[in-house]
């Protein structure tokens, strides 16, 4: 799913994430984002602008309109519409089908408020995945500004006396990171479930369970694909040991087998992001989600 211009603009706006008011000029009154998962199911997020109120829905196969899972104002509180492990599983499937939406990334950043921590969840693991998702949010820096940062100094090296910043300040370079460290830390902390909506008789329990089954089956089948079968033993050893040092060897085995899946290769390539590598190794090994991740949080 190509990231729409409206979603790109919202994703690059810090106030959108923190629930503060922001300029909505040029944006539609209601932003509608659909993330296809599997077997005709999709997670749908509707955002009312400029209030920032959000509704999460589930679109079912052959249905024109999604059924609502939960609603929240911009700054919360958010309902426990999804369990954390459900969202994480869906995000993995979405990433495998759409290289533009790697995991953990935009999908987790947008939808994780609807999946608060439950009593049996590991808060440290959730916080780590959420932090990686919010940290993945980047804005593009025009090439001209990047070039100016590299070549904006004097034509020849100045005398030592004049090398200080007050004599020749370095040109300001826009940060590609959308959120500052304080915002990332605040957003990454998993909230506890307060608003329970799954007990309601209108909640689509059967449809959500069906989606979970399809998503779980898809992930379970990945290690048996021709590209991945030969690399599965090595992926299993990495998952069991917790040591990511063998990831380059795993990447080599996959490329040698003819794998050209951009999501798989990017997750295992340098510069290595441990959270991206962990979910991919777990998937290729057929391991329980969190098996490798727990060694790195």
3-state secondary structure string across 142-175: CHHHHHHHHHCCCCCCCCHHHCCCCCCCCCCCCC
Range 91-94, long-range pairs (CB < 8 A, 24+ positions): 92/215, 92/219, 92/279, 92/283, 92/289, 93/37, 93/38, 93/215, 93/218, 93/219, 94/35, 94/36, 94/37
Q: How far apart are the first and last CA of the chain?
A: 31
pLDDT for 165 beyond 80: no
Tens of pLDDT, residues 172-208 = 677 899 999 999 999 998 777 777 899 888 899 999 9
| pLDDT at residue number 182 | 95
Tens of pLDDT, residues 273-282 = 999 999 999 9
| pLDDT at residue number 196 | 87
> What is the DSSP code (8-state) at residue 68?
E
What is this structure's pTM? 0.88
Cβ–Cβ < 8 Å for 238, 278: no
Three-class SS of residue 272? Answer: coil
Lowest mean pLDDT among 3-7, 64-68, 162-166: 162-166
- Where residue 168 falls among pLDDT bands split at 50, 70, 90? low
pLDDT for 161 beyond 90: no
| pLDDT at residue number 147 | 45
Tens of pLDDT, residues 48-57 = 998 889 999 9
Mean pLDDT to the nearest integer, 261-281: 95
| pLDDT at residue number 57 | 97
8, burial (CB in 10 Å: exposed 0-12, middle 13-18, buried 19+): middle
For residue 219, give every residue at least 6 positions away whose Cβ sits within 8 Å of its Cβ, in sequence order, or none. Answer: 89, 92, 93, 283
Mean pLDDT to the nearest integer, 112-123: 92
Tens of pLDDT, residues 222-251 = 999 988 999 999 999 999 999 999 999 999
Cβ–Cβ < 8 Å for 27, 10: yes
Taking the C-alpha atoms of residue 220 and residue 102, their distance in angstroms, rounded to an integer, is 19
């Amino acid at each position: 799913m190509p990231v729409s211009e409206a979603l790109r603009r919202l994703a690059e706006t810090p106030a959108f994430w923190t629930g503060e008011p922001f300029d909505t000029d040029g944006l539609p009154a209601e932003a509608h984002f659909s993330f296809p998962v599997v077997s005709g199911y999709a997670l749908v997020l509707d955002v009312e602008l400029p209030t920032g109120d959000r509704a999460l829905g589930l679109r079912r196969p052959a249905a024109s309109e999604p059924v609502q899972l939960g609603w929240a104002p911009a700054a919360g509180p958010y309902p426990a519409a999804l369990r954390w492990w459900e969202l994480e599983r869906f995000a993995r499937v979405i990433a495998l089908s759409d290289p533009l939406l790697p995991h953990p990334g935009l999908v987790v950043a947008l939808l994780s408020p609807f999946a608060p921590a439950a009593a049996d969840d590991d808060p440290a693991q959730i916080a780590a995945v959420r932090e990686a998702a919010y940290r993945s949010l980047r804005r593009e820096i025009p090439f001209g500004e990047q070039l100016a940062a590299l070549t904006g100094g004097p034509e020849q090296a100045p005398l030592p006396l004049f090398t200080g910043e007050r004599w020749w300040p370095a040109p300001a370079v826009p940060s590609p990171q959308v959120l500052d460290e304080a915002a990332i830390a605040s957003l990454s902390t998993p909230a506890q479930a307060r608003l329970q909506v799954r007990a309601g008789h209108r909640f689509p329990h059967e449809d959500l369970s069906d989606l979970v089954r399809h998503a779980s089956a898809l992930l379970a089948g990945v290690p048996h694909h021709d590209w991945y079968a030969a690399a599965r033993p090595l992926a299993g050893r990495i998952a069991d040991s917790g040591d990511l040092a063998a990831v380059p060897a795993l990447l080599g085995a996959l490329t040698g087998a003819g794998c050209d899946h951009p999501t798989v290769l990017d997750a295992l390539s340098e510069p290595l992001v441990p959270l991206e590598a962990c979910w991919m190794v777990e998937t290729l090994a057929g391991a329980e989600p969190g098996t490798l991740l727990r060694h790195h949080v």
